[in-house]
Amino acid sequence: MPATFVFDLDGTLVDTAPDLVGALNLVLSLEELKPVTTDELRHMVGHGARALIQKGLASRGRAVSDARFEDLVRAFLAHYELHIADESGLYPDVEAVLDMLADAGHVLAVCTNKPEKLSLLLLEKMGLLPRFAAVCGADTFPVRKPDPAHLTGTIALAGGDVRNAVMIGDSRTDRETAKNAGIPCILLEYGYSDVPARELGAEALIARFADVPKAAAGLLPASGS
């Protein structure tokens, strides 16, 4: 029976920090605030655009009204959509590993807190979209990560089985989502996390995307590995 491999997007499949930092710094410039660095941003990503903007403003000690915040969210999303793949790129071995898993008959899906529209656009720009049976963003369901229904709903849409699935991500959000769903989790050390991945208690910790198949083989039922 094929297994279902569910991937986070930002910091797992694609290094999106260079383009996210541009969009966030546009927002900060509208408030006449100092821009953030890419290193600062890497610790802010994982909960979606609104949380990213909130963290960016908080890092500069700025509070804004609800109405102003909504204006900033719209500005961020408009800019990011236009520049979503200017500098973003796939992490090493992503294409090769996804093809290897697909060739072995496994089901591939994406579960991300990026809006679905932007997730589809980014994956299309990266040439990855046809590889996935389902791409579920922050607004695909009424809930989002770390709610387990976001992950289990993604698996269902992909035609998979939660009893033979694994979550691959890079952050505390991914770890909590998988744990809440009762699904094993592989964390990558290179991604975006406010806590080092090694401290999050995932079932497997890897430094390279190339190690995903080997790590998953130790977590999935023998028939799905």
- Tell me whether residue 10 is annotated as binding: yes
- Catalytic (active site) residue 8: yes
β partners of residue 188: 206
- Tell me whether residue 86 is annotated as binding: no
DSSP letter for each residue of 19-36: HHHHHHHHHHHHTT-PPP
How many CA atoms does the CB half-sphere of 41 hold within 13 Å? 21
| Separation CA 39–CA 19 (nearest Å) | 13
**Among the options 8, 15, 19, 174, which is catalytic?**
8
Among candidate residues 1, 18, 8, the one with its CA nearest the CA of residue 212: 8
- Tell me whether residue 39 is annotated as binding: no
Amino acid at 5: F
Peptide bond into 92 cis (omega under 30): no
CA separation (Å) from 92 to 6, 13, 72? 18, 9, 33
3 state SS of 114: coil
Phi/psi of residue 35, nearest 5 degrees: -65, 155
Question: In the numeric block, which tokens belong to residue 180?
Answer: 């809440």
| Separation CA 192–CA 92 (nearest Å) | 16
Please report which helix (H) or strand (E) contains residue 48, including its range: none
Catalytic positions are 8
User: What residues are designated binding site for Mg(2+)?
Assistant: 8, 10, 170
**What residues are designated binding site?**
8, 10, 170
